[in-house]
Amino acid sequence: MNDELFSSSRIENSPEMFANFDEVASWLEAELSYTLGYERRQSFDYDTGFFDLGLDSLTTLDLVKRIENKINAKLPSTVLFKYPTIQQLAGYVLDQCTGFSFDAGSTGDPLEEDLAALQFIDDQFNAMIDETR
């Protein structure tokens, strides 16, 4: 199974969906605000991790579903672990929409990226355990 961010290789007519990085990041910021229960749009630091901004396992699922509905594509379950900030996720979404790569750290190998995401999850889990000691 190809674990790309989108089920299709590119989103049809996607350049009209998002014209630039700022539009994607702004849209993600609005979706994150809604998902976190704010009545009004909040401003977030684009380099702060989603979980540091307040997402948990349930709100992560909600945010992923909201993104899927907007782009009309299925996302892998690890998407917010692979791209854990607004900056990274917006760059990747724009990359998928336009074909221009904003993800300089990507190896292009889905298995390698999944392993990196799992390592990230493991590191975060271990850090949480260490904090409780």
| End-to-end Cα spacing for the chain | 39
Phi first, then psi, for residue 44 (nearest 5°) are -120, 150
Exposed / middle / buried, residue 27 (Cβ in 10 Å: 0-12, 13-18, 19+): middle
Among residues of the chain, what percentage have pLDDT more than 70? 70
Domains of the chain: 14-132 (1.10.1200.10)
Contact in structure between 60 and 68 (CB atoms under 8 Å):
no
Structure tokens at 111: 């298995």
Give the containing element (helix H, strand E) for 68.
helix 57-71
For CA atoms 26, 17, 59, 8, the dihedral sign is: negative
Contact in structure between 22 and 76 (CB atoms under 8 Å):
no
Q: 61-111, pLDDT tens digit by residue?
A: 999 999 888 877 777 878 898 999 999 999 877 876 665 555 444 545 566
pLDDT given at position 45 = 95
The mean pLDDT of 29-33, rounded to a whole number, is: 94
pLDDT given at position 46 = 94
Q: What's the angle, vertex CA 89, arms to CA 6 and CA 30, rounded to 5?
A: 105
Close Cβ partners of 98 (under 8 Å, ≥ 6 residues apart): 14, 15, 18
